[in-house]
């Protein structure tokens, strides 16, 4: 029997699609939603399911940034064949994305039991939401927002990519929040920080989803819930990406900071009163 029904999968798909690329923690929101629907957050099937439906959100990124991705990948292949092409920024950027993905892959494999065990607690999510909010606010205030996407360097990519480890170890911190905050501290403007977060998330999240696919099916999650959750997350994530890029072009991240603080405090309250089980 599946640990998640089709209707529950649809709800979780909406939550995933809305929150995956907003700096509010998709993992945190998924765990909260699962708790409210009495779905055991530490169940192996549930953990695998949430990783798999991320592929839907990643597919939305691939579609939305299709032209950019084709340009970067084409530059990479040209550079492999032609030495002169290796000076092109897109060629170098492709390698940076690859290198920047290595740290999170190594940590993810090494710390998998801990991530799916002790660190899956909603108490960790609540604390990470609040701590991540403070980090994001400080980063937005410190950053000078003067560097564009064309100004990114290998150092930027490695630091931003490695910051994804924070969200991996502390669900609730937010992968987008960690990467965007790091990019802001490095003085990238908000749009550049957001786009860099998108591109660096593609390999890591896609790999995690595919890696967990066999476990999701083997752990008792039927194909139907997986398909529904993934499709819904794709559709909702596409709209979310379009909205976020327009929003950050004209606004600071303060709205997300306040929202995260409220959700974190609310979660602490629900856990403290026994409404939710950690």
CA dihedral 59, 60, 66, 69 (to 10 degrees): -60
Chain mean pLDDT for the chain: 89
**What is the tally of structural domains in the chain?**
1
Label residue 220 by pLDDT band (50, 70, 90). Answer: low
Contact 129, 270 (CB under 8 A): no
**What's the mean pLDDT in 267-274?**
90
Distance between CA atoms of residues 159 and 188, nearest Å: 13
Domain that holds residue 238: 6-272
Residue 1 belongs to some domain of the structure = no
φ, ψ of residue 147 to 5 degrees: the values are: -105, 135
Residue 240 belongs to some domain of the structure = yes
Residue 241 belongs to some domain of the structure = yes
Label residue 1 by pLDDT band (50, 70, 90). Answer: very low
Residue 88 CB contacts under 8 Å (≥ 6 apart), including other chains: 75, 78, 79
Residue 31 belongs to some domain of the structure = yes
Q: What is the percentage of the chain residues whose pLDDT exceeds 90?
A: 59
**What's the mean pLDDT in 25-40?**
84
Contact 117, 278 (CB under 8 A): no
């Amino acid at each position: 029997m599946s640990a998640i029904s089709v209707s529950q999968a649809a709800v979780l798909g909406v939550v995933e699609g809305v929150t995956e690329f907003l700096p509010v923690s998709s993992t945190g929101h998924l765990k909260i939603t699962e708790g409210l629907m009495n779905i055991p957050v530490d169940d192996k099937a549930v953990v695998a399911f949430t990783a798999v439906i991320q592929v839907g959100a990643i597919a939305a990124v691939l579609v939305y940034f299709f032209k950019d991705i084709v340009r970067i990948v084409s530059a990479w292949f040209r550079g492999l064949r032609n030495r002169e092409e290796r000076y092109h920024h897109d060629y170098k950027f492709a390698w940076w994305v690859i290198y920047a993905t290595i740290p999170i892959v190594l940590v993810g494999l090494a710390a998998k039991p801990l991530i799916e065990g002790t660190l899956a607690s909603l108490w960790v999510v609540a604390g990470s939401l609040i701590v991540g909010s403070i980090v994001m606010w400080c980063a937005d205030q410190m950053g000078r927002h003067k560097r564009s996407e064309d100004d990114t360097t290998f150092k930027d990519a490695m630091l931003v990519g490695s910051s994804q480890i924070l969200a991996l170890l502390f669900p609730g911190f937010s992968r987008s929040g960690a990467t965007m905050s790091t990019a802001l501290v490095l003085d990238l403007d908000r749009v550049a920080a957001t786009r860099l977060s998108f591109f660096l998330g593609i390999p890591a999240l896609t790999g995690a989803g595919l890696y967990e696919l066999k476990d999701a099916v083997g752990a008792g999650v039927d194909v139907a819930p997986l398909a529904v959750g993934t499709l819904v997350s794709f559709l909702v994530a596409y709209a979310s990406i379009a909205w976020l890029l327009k929003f950050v072009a004209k606004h600071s991240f303060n709205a997300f900071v306040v929202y995260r603080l409220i959700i974190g405090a609310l979660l602490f309250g629900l856990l403290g009163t026994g409404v939710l089980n950690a």
